[in-house]
A and B are shown apart, each in its own frame.
Chain A
């Protein structure tokens, strides 16, 4: 599935279409987004070098790591860009993003720029940044109809220095530039308002989120019980990808992540989890389970039609009213009359034939039929 993402980026966009855009997002509970970013970067680089991709070049906009980090990273993956880099350029927004260094030291650090990387010393000016990216990209692919790809290692850092709308603007402009083949970026979702994350997701044709393996372990004080879950969260995670098709259809896929020394590995979700995934239970913030106490309380509730009438109008607790109504509907189907509850004159004879069935029970309700 991670390979599906890489293939989509490799294939690029059709003529007249926006470039495919990938958002990789993670959070503190499962901070493997950068590992995923590096994986995608490596795969795309391999495709470009092999001549299999639509794009002929790659511009890396580096906010959170130095150019030398990427040189080392690719070297460890078998790609030596120090010696041959006519297909890749790193825009260094990491070393001196605000021009502090340039003001202070005597020598002009822009002289240190090489053909592999160049400095951006004012990341607040997104128009300038846009021009730099396009200029470097065109420099890689030359004249003609070729295209290049763009990788932005941390949009969360980008938005620290500029407004949400200007960041959205530059990303949208890059996406729609006719020489951009594909674009992908990383953000840490817990650093931003939901508004910003949503804006980026709307701009993207693929959204890959890294989530903790054990959701419950996060945020609690460490103790012996949750320590092993935390340890697991530190090495493993869940990878959810949402693909937006041209026809508007949305496809969701899941994998598991294993973070190792050599890099990140994606494995299919185990079959047990697959069943859970297929149910697509929404992640809601209210509790769908009952605690022991709640179960006991529920058992104590006298159902409306089992009430031993003493002449007084039946008082039904509001919170259980829907339960009462459900029982009424069940009675309708069995053919009993439904007198007005408030009339106090009719009579309902109700025989409870079975206990409450838990939601999503696997039992077949027809099992007790004696056919």
Chain B
């Protein structure tokens, strides 16, 4: 992969190596954030990297949080044209903002089964060469829970089936969830289950020292060595700071900024 201004996040995710096979193939990435430090920028960065000209990835973007125009605007500033990618069938957008599950129980599950069906059929419908390079992104899981009327069991079932897709089609699964929603629970099962499912956990949180003007927060990347691929590095943990700017995000080690 040529040097596209690779940053610390790219390196932590192993995106600084060859782009084929895609380093995140078959892996599950969980982005955890909180109110003080939103992790959406990580998702945007991954969209940009997935759609780089040197890779063959197709993104199935399941959006519960924002409409297409929102992501288009942000990615344009990062140098990626989502409209073109959508027309090229590299960026498939599922607008889930209007998903309504009126009754509890069966239809919450039914809605998620239908969503799973849609994803599965989309993958199966891709041309042969594209089928192996799918990335499923979900923004975000807490809203999936809302759409399922709080049925976190159905959400976990849905995530399990998405996990099975990573195994069957070697696709990657990237999800975002908010850790602080669950922090008051005695046993935050949903987020814990997601952490167990994830191969890579990216946590965006404030600094332990509090607020700062030059640093917006810190990212901790826990990269569990995959058990199904030889040649992978073992478990690794990366920690660095970041600052979100208008057209880019800067990543740097603590104390290294001039």
Distance from A258 Cβ to chain B, minimum over Cβ atoms (Å): 10
Please pick, from A69, A191, A234, the residue contacting B189 in the complex, using a CB distance under 8 A: A191
**B208/A95 in contact, CB under 8 A:** no
Considering only residues 168-201 of chain A, those with a C-beta below 8 Å from chain B are: 188, 190-193
Interface: B100 (CB within 8 A): no
**A190/B187 in contact, CB under 8 A:** yes
Interface: A290 (CB within 8 A): no
- For A234, what are the chain B residues with a Cβ–Cβ distance below 8 Å? 222, 235-237
Interface: A166 (CB within 8 A): no
**B187/A191 in contact, CB under 8 A:** yes
**B116/A100 in contact, CB under 8 A:** yes
Distance from A285 Cβ to chain B, minimum over Cβ atoms (Å): 15
**B220/A261 in contact, CB under 8 A:** no
- For B117, what are the chain A residues with a Cβ–Cβ distance below 8 Å? 100, 104
Interface: B21 (CB within 8 A): no
Known: A104-B120, A259-B234, A259-B235. A68 touches B227 (CB 8 A): no
Please pick, from B120, B157, B205, B224, the residue contacting A221 in the complex, using a CB distance under 8 A: B205
Distance from B203 Cβ to chain A, minimum over Cβ atoms (Å): 8
Interface: A324 (CB within 8 A): no
Q: Mark A259-272, 1 if CB is under 8 A from B, else 0.
A: 11100000000000
Considering only residues 196-228 of chain B, those with a C-beta below 8 Å from chain A are: 196, 203, 205-209, 218, 220, 222, 224-225, 227-228
How many interface residues does A have (CB within 8 Å)? 42
**A68/B239 in contact, CB under 8 A:** no
Interface: B143 (CB within 8 A): no
Known: A28-B196, A191-B193, A221-B205. A230 touches B237 (CB 8 A): yes
**B206/A221 in contact, CB under 8 A:** yes
- Residue ID in chain B nearest A66 by CB atoms: B167
**A66/B164 in contact, CB under 8 A:** yes
Distance from A155 Cβ to chain B, minimum over Cβ atoms (Å): 13
**B234/A261 in contact, CB under 8 A:** yes
**B164/A94 in contact, CB under 8 A:** yes
- Residue ID in chain B nearest A35 by CB atoms: B227
Interface: B101 (CB within 8 A): no
Distance from B123 Cβ to chain A, minimum over Cβ atoms (Å): 11
How many interface residues does B have (CB within 8 Å)? 42
Considering only residues 77-124 of chain B, those with a C-beta below 8 Å from chain A are: 113, 116-117, 120-121, 124
**B208/A222 in contact, CB under 8 A:** yes
Interface: A224 (CB within 8 A): yes
**A68/B232 in contact, CB under 8 A:** no
Interface: A97 (CB within 8 A): yes
Known: A72-B228, A190-B187. A235 touches B234 (CB 8 A): yes
Interface: A312 (CB within 8 A): no
A316-B63 Cα distance, complex, nearest whole Å = 67
Q: Mark A72-85, 1 if CB is under 8 A from B, else 0.
A: 11001000000000
- For B234, what are the chain A residues with a Cβ–Cβ distance below 8 Å? 235, 259-261
Interface: A108 (CB within 8 A): no
- For B239, what are the chain A residues with a Cβ–Cβ distance below 8 Å? 222, 227
Known: A193-B187, A234-B237, A261-B232. A28 touches B192 (CB 8 A): yes
Known: A31-B196, A222-B239, A230-B237. A98 touches B157 (CB 8 A): yes
- Residue ID in chain B nearest A34 by CB atoms: B227
Interface: B54 (CB within 8 A): no
Distance from A196 Cβ to chain B, minimum over Cβ atoms (Å): 11
**A160/B233 in contact, CB under 8 A:** no
- For A192, what are the chain B residues with a Cβ–Cβ distance below 8 Å? 187
A143-B1 Cα distance, complex, nearest whole Å = 58
- For A340, what are the chain B residues with a Cβ–Cβ distance below 8 Å? none
Distance from B202 Cβ to chain A, minimum over Cβ atoms (Å): 12
A223-B241 Cα distance, complex, nearest whole Å = 11
**A105/B120 in contact, CB under 8 A:** yes
Known: A221-B206, A234-B222, A234-B237. A28 touches B167 (CB 8 A): no
Which 8 pairs show the lowest CB-CB distances between chains A and B?
A223-B208, A221-B208, A66-B167, A234-B235, A104-B117, A261-B234, A222-B220, A231-B237
Q: Spell out B's residues near A (CB within 8 Å).
A: 113, 116-117, 120-121, 124, 153, 156-157, 160-161, 164, 167-168, 187, 189, 192-193, 195-196, 203, 205-209, 218, 220, 222, 224-225, 227-228, 230, 232-237, 239, 254
Q: Spell out A's residues near B (CB within 8 Å).
A: 28, 31, 34-35, 38, 65-66, 68-69, 72-73, 76, 94-98, 100-101, 103-105, 157, 160, 188, 190-193, 220-224, 227, 230-231, 234-235, 259-261
**A to B CB contacts below 8 Å, 9 in the list:** A34-B227, A94-B164, A160-B153, A188-B192, A188-B196, A223-B208, A223-B209, A230-B237, A234-B237
Extra contacts, 18 of them, besides A103-B113, A220-B208, A259-B225 (Cβ < 8 A), are A28-B195, A31-B196, A31-B224, A38-B227, A66-B164, A76-B230, A97-B157, A104-B116, A104-B117, A105-B120, A105-B124, A160-B153, A191-B193, A222-B203, A222-B205, A234-B237, A235-B234, A261-B225
